């Protein structure tokens, strides 16, 4: 897992190089075809990448995006009206049966289908209209890291290709920013000792950082066996805040940008409740108001932040698992390809 975390800057750069031309063409084709709705279909970490894609695509293109409920197709056999839709399956292995079934149904219903996968020769690639590939080699750890950020990168490229106007981000900068995040490894190795006996926690992020809250919580559940909740800061105020008592651990993604003032409000409220807060942030006010912080370069704004910000989270999960005497590469009860319908 640590090795695959470290491979990310190179893998991301290669994905940009290899897929740039294909995605630019696909964007032109889809703009000509006219797309009213984009549906994303995924499970696990891929579903978290899709959650990021949802925000990025809606903000960048104005096209409404829906995260599919696979069972509507696979268990209830509903036939959705998807004639003008783009349906994108996201699966590291390309072998998720439920994802592939939704893609088949959607194509039969007239949708244009795209697969986002790490495996060019997968079942998914065989059944979609177009395949977008992550480049950076097979992922061997059960806990996904480089495929999560690879999927995010493909969503940056796709969103840019579907936008009417120049987007608010330049994704070419991301591999270098990812490399800078890796420099945090020694600091995080020390930091995790403090969390060895943490049994549960909440991870908070909002907007473009929301998916990272889901992804870090999933990493903590699967590699560290911590009961980790995930919320947007807005949803957190609608009920779950009541759980927070003195020393309750809350991990917050707080990149500079439009979301920051809301995150600062949350940090003040958590401080009043004497929560134990860990922020991943480039904002010095947030860093100064929390119990512990991982401080990233201030110039990484929230549009470029999702990938550089999840890397300290991945390192935190992998190093905490090791500090607890667990093997993050093969969590108990799990296998790399999960078969569900």
Nearer to a second copy, 175 or 207 (CB): 207
- Round to the nearest angstrom and report the end-to-end CA distance of the chain: 28
The span from the CA of 156 to the CA of 19, in Å, is 12
Minimum CB–partner distance for residue 206 and a second copy (Å): 6
CB nearer to a second copy: pick between 14 and 281: 281
State the chain's maximal CA–CA distance in angstroms: 56
Q: At 279, give phi and psi (nearest 5°).
A: -105, 140
CB of 235 to a second copy, least distance (A): 6
Least separation in angstroms between residue 19's CB and a second copy is 25
CB closer to a second copy out of 78 and 173: 78
42/319 with CB nearer a second copy: 42
Q: Can you give the binding site for a second copy, defined by CB under 8 A?
A: 36-37, 39, 43-45, 47, 54-55, 58-59, 62-67, 69-72, 75-76, 78-82, 84-85, 98, 143, 199-200, 202, 206-207, 210, 218, 221-223, 225-227, 229, 232-235, 237-245, 258-259, 262, 273, 331-334, 338, 340-341
Torsion of CA 46, 49, 51, 53, to 10 degrees: -130
Q: Directed axis angle between helix 174-182 and helix 146-162, to 10°?
A: 160
Look up tokens 């093997």; give the residue. 327
Nearest alpha-carbon partner for 304 in 121, 180, 219, 220: 180
Between 9 and 70, CB nearer to a second copy: 70
Confirm if 53 and 152 have CB atoms less than 8 A apart. Answer: yes
């Amino acid at each position: 897992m640590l090795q695959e975390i470290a491979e990310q800057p190179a893998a991301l750069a290669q994905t940009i190089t290899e897929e740039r031309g294909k995605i630019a063409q696909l964007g032109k084709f889809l703009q000509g075809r006219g797309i009213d709705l984009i549906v994303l279909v995924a499970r696990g970490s891929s579903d978290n990448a899709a959650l990021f894609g949802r925000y990025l695509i809606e903000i960048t293109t104005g096209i409404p995006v829906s995260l599919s409920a696979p069972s509507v197709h696979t268990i209830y056999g509903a036939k959705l009206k998807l004639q003008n839709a783009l349906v994108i399956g996201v699966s590291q292995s390309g072998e998720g049966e439920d994802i592939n079934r939704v893609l088949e149904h959607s194509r039969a219903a007239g949708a244009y289908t795209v697969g986002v996968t790490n495996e060019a020769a997968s079942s998914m690639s065989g059944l979609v209209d177009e395949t977008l590939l992550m480049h950076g080699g097979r992922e061997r750890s059960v806990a996904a890291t480089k495929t999560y950020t690879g999927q995010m990168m493909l969503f940056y490229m796709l969103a840019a290709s579907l936008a009417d106007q120049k987007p608010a981000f330049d994704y070419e900068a991301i591999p270098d920013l990812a490399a800078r995040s890796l420099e945090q490894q020694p600091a995080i190795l020390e930091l995790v000792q403090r969390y060895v006996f943490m049994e549960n926690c909440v991870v908070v992020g909002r907007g473009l950082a929301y998916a990272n809250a889901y992804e870090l919580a999933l990493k903590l559940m699967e590699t560290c066996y911590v009961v980790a909740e995930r919320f947007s800061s807005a949803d957190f105020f609608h009920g779950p805040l009541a759980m927070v008592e003195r020393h309750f651990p809350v991990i917050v993604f707080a990149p500079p940008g439009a979301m920051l003032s809301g995150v600062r409000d949350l940090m003040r409220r958590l401080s009043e409740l004497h929560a134990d807060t860990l922020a991943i942030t480039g904002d010095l006010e947030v860093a100064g108001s929390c119990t512990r912080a991982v401080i990233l370069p201030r110039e990484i704004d929230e549009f470029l932040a999702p990938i550089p910000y999840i890397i300290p989270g991945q390192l935190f999960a992998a190093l905490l698992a090791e500090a607890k005497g667990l093997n993050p590469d093969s969590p108990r009860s799990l296998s790399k390809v999960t078969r569900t319908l």
